[in-house]
Structure 1
Amino acid sequence: MAETPASTPWSIRPIALRDDAVVARIIRTVMPEFGACGSGFAINDPEVDWMSRAYAEPRSAYFVVERGGEVLGGGGVAPLTGGDADTCELRKMYFLPEARGLGAGSAMMARCLEAARGFGFRRCYLETLTGMDAAMRLYERSGFRRIGGPLGDTGHGGCNSFYLRDL
């Protein structure tokens, strides 16, 4: 896997059990910032409380961004529920404001896509929400293209923007 250069103010590493509570707090803090509250959003997904276990499943990985020993965000990949076996989903990629604008999102994206390729996926799908403009710009810079509707059965009925990328 790609290493984070020593000159960056943060590092990326696989999630550990000790990170579960802070990652859940980050997700539940960031999502309302963008209006992602209520049913149909990951904020209510019970997986949020045990991310390290959820992403220990086959062909799944979740990474955290940390600075000075403090976790500031994360992102992962897993098979697309109800989708083709060769398609993964970029999942639960959220960062606290202090991690934004530092290049951590681009580095996290690269790390996740590298893991997806390593698991043998040929495409990566994601769902997001109108208003997450910086995230959408990152997805497009990373080679994702907007598609007309959802794939698979993610359970995220509140999302209204869908992207796909060949790996």
Structure 2
Amino acid sequence: MLAAIWAQDEQGTIGKENRLPWHLPNDLKFFKQMTEDNTIIMGRKTFEGMGGRPLPNRQTIVLTRDKAYHANGVIVFHTVEEVLEYAKNFSGITFIAGGSAVYEDFLPYCDVLYRTVIHHSFDGDTKFPAVVWDDWTLINLSVGEQDEKNSYAYQFETYQRKVAAD
């Protein structure tokens, strides 16, 4: 199964200078909980923006056009087709985890979307690509808990792709 997972502000901002423009520990916990023991796919800039090292307890795949690119502890793919073939043969969930161009490439193939919406507006340079929401059904919504460490209102949303009618 192929799924996209991301956090965004109310304007669709997902990043600034290849990093998250906010600090929301509960969203990071959600990301960890969802992706552990699965595979995450990200572009080279996103991977390097996270420190250039794989996250523990999950397979990391870096997607890049640079045929000479190498990073320790990750698989490097160069095409969408390589990722789709991998996902087809992987028994767990293959999560698309950024950046914007990678999300755009894979949205047509995703079965499920996991979106965290932060009810705030941040300065950023990267937006999530346009989603045709008519193709998706909201199957779960839960309001996140605000506290001293999670100072923004936010919610977790899960969408499933609608099955096309015959």
Structure showing greater relative contact order (alpha-carbon pairs closer than 8 Å, 6 or more residues apart) = 2
- More helix by proportion, 1 or 2? 1
Q: Same fold (TM over 0.5)?
A: no
TM-score band w.r.t. shorter chain:
0.3 to 0.5
TM-score by length of 1: 0.34
- Please identify the structure whose Cα radius of gyration is greater: 2
